[in-house]
Structure 1
Amino acid sequence: MGWLRALKETARSGLKVERRRPEPLVALRGAAGLALVVGVALYAFGPAVAVSSAFGAFQAGIATFQRSWRPRPVLALASGTSLAVSTFLGYLTGAHTALFMALLALWTFAAGMAWAVGPTVGLIATSNVAIMLVTVTLPTSVADAAGHATVMMLGGLVQAALIVVFPVRRWGAQRDALADALAAEADYARRLRHDPVAPFDPEPLMTARDAAAVTPRQARRRPAELHGARGLAERIRPVLASLADPALGVPAEGPQRDRVRELLAAAASVLDAAAHAIRHAEPVEVPPPAEAVLNLPDTDAILTGPPHRAAVRLRTLLADAVETANGTGTEAATGAPHRVRPTLPRLVPVALRAVRAELRPASPVLRHAVRVSAVAATGYLVGTALPLGHGYWAPMASVMVMRPDFSQTYSRAVARFGGTLVGVALATALVQLTHPGTGLSATLAVLSAFAMFLLMRTGYAASQVCVSAYVVFLLGMGGTQWTQTVPERVGLTLAGGLLAMAAYALYPAWETPRLRTRLADWLIADGRYAAAVVAHYAAPADARRSDIRDALLAAREARIAWQEALERAAGEPVRNRGLSRAAADDAGHALAQLGRVAMLMEAHLPGRTTTPVPAAAALADALREATADGAKAVRERRVPRWDAVRRALAAWDGEGVPDRVVRKGAGMLLDALEDLSRALDEEGPRPPAGTAART
C-alpha cells in the first residue's frame, strides 16, 4: 500500500463513528462526580483550583471506561493519584525550562514504555503527561501546587467513591466477556451445520480467560454464575468441532448428518440462552425445542463410535453450562480454583519485567517511547517559541494521538484535528450566544464531559468534539476568553498532529517486516500443541492434560499475535518484503487448520486405561523438531519441508495403528503442514535447494 492510500485509509478510520451500546447511567455517574468536585472546589477555593479538580475528576472518569478487569474504583484512584504526582513534579520544575524539558522527556518516555504493561496503563500514563502540560500552568507557588495536586487526587477519590456507592452492573465487564464467549460458540455451532470445517476465532475465549482472573478479594465476591462457565465453554468447542467434522465424525450426508445438524442447532440455542442469562443476571430459559432435541432417545441408534461419544459428551456439557449459568453448577458450588490476578502492589514487579523485556532496539514499544518523548520535547519548544500563547497544546496533542503502531497514530491525529475543529466551533458559538459566567461555564463543561463519557466508545473523533468543548468551557470558567484559546488551540493542535505523524514516518516500527517472525512463532506454538496431543496417545496412563492445555493457550496467543500483526500491516505504506497478502492469508489458513486438527484429536483423547499407540511418540517428536526447523525456514524466506513427519507416518503404516481417529488425524496434520509450504512456495526468489540451512 502506498503512502497516499495509507493516509486516505487512516483518515477514514479516524473519522469513523461506530454504533455502540451507550451506558448512560455510567456516564451520568462520571459526570455527577465531576460536577460534585467542581462545585465544591469552585465554592471553597475559586476557579483556578476548580479547574485542577475538574481535570483530576475528568481523567479518573475516563480511566474507569477503559477495558480493564480490575475494579473501577482502583482505576479511578490510580488515575487521580498519578495525575496529582505528575502535576506537582511538573510545577516544581516548570520555572526552569531545561529542567522541565528533562522531566517532560523522562516522564513521556516512561509513559511510552507503560504500553508494555497493557493498553489501560499506557493510556492512563499518556493522559497524565498530556494533562500535566496544562495543569502546571495553574498554580502560583509550591504550596499552591500541592493544593492543586491534592484536589486532583480528591477528584479521583470522589469518582471511586461514587462507583462504590452507586454501582452500575456489578461485574458487568466480566459478565459481557463470558457471555460473548458463549455467544461466539453458539454462532460457531450454527455455522458448523452448513460448513463442517468452519473456522473459529479463539479471541472471545481468550478475553473471557483474562476476565476470569481475580484478586483474592474479588474471588470472595464473584457471583456464582461466573464460576466454571468459561471452563465449560473451553470443553464444548472441540466437542462441537469433532461432532461436525466429516473426516473424524459422521458422513457429509445421510441420517447421521441430519441428526448432527439437529444437535448443533439445539446446542446453539442452549448456549445463547446461557449467554443471555449470564449477561443480564437472569435464570436460564432453555427453549423447549432445543431441550426436546437433546433428550431424544434415538441418538444411540443413529450415531455410533466417536460421533456417539461426542454427542453424549455434548449433552453433559450443555447441562453443566445451564446449571453453572444459574449459579448451581458443581464448579460454582464447590469453589473451583480460580485464576489469580495480582493486586496493585504485586503488579509492580510484573510491570517492571514487562518493561524490561521491551528494552531492545527492535521493540515497537521502545521505539514508541523514544518517538513520543522526542516529539513532546520538540513540540513544547515549538509551542513556546511561537507567539501564540498556550504552547502546551502542541505537545499535548502529539502525546495524546501517538500510539506504538502506524494506523492508530495517523488515524487519531486526523480524528483529533477534525474533532477539535468541530468541538471548538460549537463551543465558541455557544459562548458567543450565552456569554456564560463562571457558574454557567462550569455547567457547560460538565455537560460536555457527560457527552464525552456517553460517546467515548463510538470513536475517537466523536469524543474529541466533546473534549474540545470541555476544555473551552473549563478555561472559560477560569477566566480565559474564547478569543484567547480558539485560534491557538486549532493551530497548535494541527502542529502537534503533524509532529506526531512526521515522527512515525522518520522513526517507524513497521509490522510488515515482522510478519514472517510472527508466522514462525505461530508455527512453533501449533507444532508443540499438536505434539502434546499426539504424545497423549502414546502413553495415556502417564500423560498430563495440563501439558496440552498450556500448549493450547500458547498456540492461541501466537495466533492472536499473528492476526493483530496482519491487521496492522495491512494499513502500512511499506512493501511486503517477501510475504504477500495472498500468501499470508493462505499460510494463516494452513496453520489454523493445523491447530484445528490437533483440537479434533484432543476431543477424542483416550482414557488412562486405553491401549497405548507407541508409534505416536515418534510422531510427536517429529512434529516438535520439524515445526521448529520449519519456523527457522520461514524466518529465512525458505519453504519448510516435512520429511521427518512423513517418515514417522510411514513407520505408522508399517506397524499398523488400530485407532482410526489418531491415524486419520495424523495424516490431516501433515496435510496442513504441506498446505503451509505450498502457500509460502508462491513467494519470490529463495536460496537454492541444498543449502546448509534447508531442512
Structure 2
Amino acid sequence: AIEHARDTLAGAYRAPDRVGRPRALPARLRAASRDLLVSAESWRYGLRLALCIGLAQVLVSAIDVPRSYWVPLTVTFVLKPDFGSVFSRAVLRALGTAAGLVVAGAVLEFVPRGGWEVPIVVVLAAGLPTVSRRGYGYQTAVITPLILILSDMLSHQGVHLLAPRLLDSLIGCGIVLVAGYALWPESWHTRVGARLAAAVDDTARYIECAFDEHTDQAARARTRRRIYRDLSAVRTEFQRALGEPPPAGARAAAWWPLLVAVERVIDTGTAAAVHTAHGAPPPSPEAAAHIATELRALATSMRTGKPVVPADPDAAEHTPDALTDVRREVRSTRSLMDGPGPNDPSPPR
C-alpha cells in the first residue's frame, strides 16, 4: 500500500486500461490528417468539387448571369457526398428552390413593406429547424424565401430577385449533375457490400480476441467499438445509396436483409462475450476459430459475389455453448447469401 501511494504521488502509477482508451489527441490528429491527405475518397471529392467550381466560374464569366455568385454557392451546397446522394440533393435543391420562390413571390408581391415582412421572417426562421429534419428539399423550400425576403429588405428589388435565383440555382444543380455526378462512374455504384464485408471481417477478429484468454480487455473493447463504427458507416452508405436513381438505389435496397442479419450476428457476438466476461462458461478456442472462419467466408462472398464456401461443411453439430446463438445467426446470414442466384435482378451481389 505504501509503495502504491508513493508511485501514485510520484506519477509513476498507471491505472490498468480496461475500456480501451483512445490514443492521445496529438496521435489522433496526426492519423486524421494523414487519412485526409492520402485518402483516395478525399482526393476524388476534391477533384469533383474543383471541376464543378471551375466550370461554374467559367460559365458565369462567359455569359451574363445576374448575381452570379449564387452558382458556385449552389455547387458547394449540393456537392456533399457525405450528406447523402449527390443526385438526390441536386434534384431536391432545384425543386425546393422552385417551391420556395413561389412563397417568396407571394410575400414580395402582396405583403406591404414597412415591417410587415418581419413576422413572416420570424415564422420561416422558427420553422427551419423543424422542416430541416424532414429532408433537404423542405429545408431549401423554407430557406429560399427567407433569404430572398431578407435580401429585399436591403435591395428593395422585389419580385425581380426571383428569376435570377431560379436561373442560378438551376445552373448550379445542372453543373453538379453533369460534372459532379454523371462523369464519375463511382457515383453509379454503391459501396454497401464492401463496407458490410469490412464489418464482417472485423466481427471475425472480435470473436477471436473476445474469447482468447491471452487478449487483454482493452484490446477487446477497442475491437468492439470498431465493429460498431463499421456498422455506422454501413448505415450511412446504405442511406446515401437509397437516394440514387435506378439501378443503384434498387441494388442498395437488396442489401437490407443482409445488413439486418449482420447486425444480429454482431449483437449476439457481443452479448456472448459479455456473458462470458460475467462468468458464463467460455466456448472452446476451436469453436471461436470456426465462427471466425465462417464470418471471413461470408465477407469474401460479399466482396466477390460468389456463393459462400462453408469453412467445414463436414463438421458435426457443436454442443451448446456461449456461441450457440452466434452460430445460428451466421447460418441465417449464410442462407441469405446463398438464396438468390447471380442472375436474379434483386440479389445483393
- Measured against the shorter chain, the TM-score band is 0.7 to 0.9
2:165 aligns with 489
Distance 1:685-1:417 versus aligned 2 partners, 3 A rule: closer
1:587 aligns with 258
Deviation, structure 1 residue 685 = 5.0
1:666 aligns with 323
1 CA distance for matches of 2:252 and 2:28? 40
Look at both structures and tell me which one has the larger radius of gyration over its CA atoms: 1
Cα deviation code 1:198-227 (max 9, x no counterpart): xxxxxxxxxxxxxxxxxxxxxxxxxxxxxx
Match of 1:450 among 117, 125, 132: 125
The one-letter code sitting in structure 2 at the alignment partner of 1:681 is: D
CA RMSD, 1 decimal? 4.1
Match of 2:136 among 460, 471, 477: 460
Kindly indicate whether residue 236 of structure 2 is the aligned counterpart of residue 533 of structure 1: no
2 CA distance for matches of 1:459 and 1:580? 20
Distance 1:515-1:601 versus aligned 2 partners, 3 A rule: same
2:272 aligns with 601
Aligned pairs (5 A) from 1:228-627:
349=30, 351-358=32-39, 360=40, 363=41, 365-404=42-81, 408-433=85-110, 436=113, 440=115, 443=118, 447=122, 450-451=125-126, 453-455=128-130, 456-479=132-155, 481-482=157-158, 484-503=160-179, 504-510=181-187, 512-535=189-212, 539=213, 544-575=216-247, 581-582=253-254, 584-605=255-276, 616-627=284-295
2 CA distance for matches of 1:619 and 1:600? 16
Distance 1:453-1:681 versus aligned 2 partners, 3 A rule: closer
8 Å Cα contact 1:383/1:492 also seen in 2: no
Deviation, structure 1 residue 526 = 1.9
8 Å Cα contact 2:293/2:311 also seen in 1: no
TM-score, normalised with respect to structure 1: 0.40
Distance 1:589-1:368 versus aligned 2 partners, 3 A rule: same
Deviation, structure 1 residue 636 = 2.0
8 Å Cα contact 2:152/2:158 also seen in 1: yes
Deviation, structure 1 residue 454 = 4.5
8 Å Cα contact 2:298/2:334 also seen in 1: no
Cα deviation code 1:49-75 (max 9, x no counterpart): xxxxxxxxxxxxxxxxxxxxxxxxxxx
2:7 aligns with none
8 Å Cα contact 1:394/1:495 also seen in 2: yes
Gaps of 5+ in 1: 1-335, 654-662, 687-695
2 CA distance for matches of 1:355 and 1:436? 49
Distance 1:466-1:634 versus aligned 2 partners, 3 A rule: closer
Distance 1:462-1:339 versus aligned 2 partners, 3 A rule: farther
8 Å Cα contact 2:56/2:71 also seen in 1: yes
Cα deviation code 1:30-59 (max 9, x no counterpart): xxxxxxxxxxxxxxxxxxxxxxxxxxxxxx
1 CA distance for matches of 2:66 and 2:82? 31
Deviation, structure 1 residue 404 = 0.9
The one-letter code sitting in structure 2 at the alignment partner of 1:634 is: M
The one-letter code sitting in structure 1 at the alignment partner of 2:228 is: R
- Give the 4+ runs in structure 1 shifted more than 6 A: 336-343
Cα deviation code 1:332-353 (max 9, x no counterpart): xxxx99978998x998646523
Deviation, structure 1 residue 500 = 1.7
2:335 aligns with 678
* Higher relative contact order structure (alpha carbons within 8 Å, sequence separation ≥ 6): 2
2 CA distance for matches of 1:427 and 1:341? 51
8 Å Cα contact 2:96/2:139 also seen in 1: yes
Secondary structure of 2:68's aligned partner: coil
**Percent identity of equivalent pairs:** 20
Gaps of 5+ in 2: 1-17, 344-349
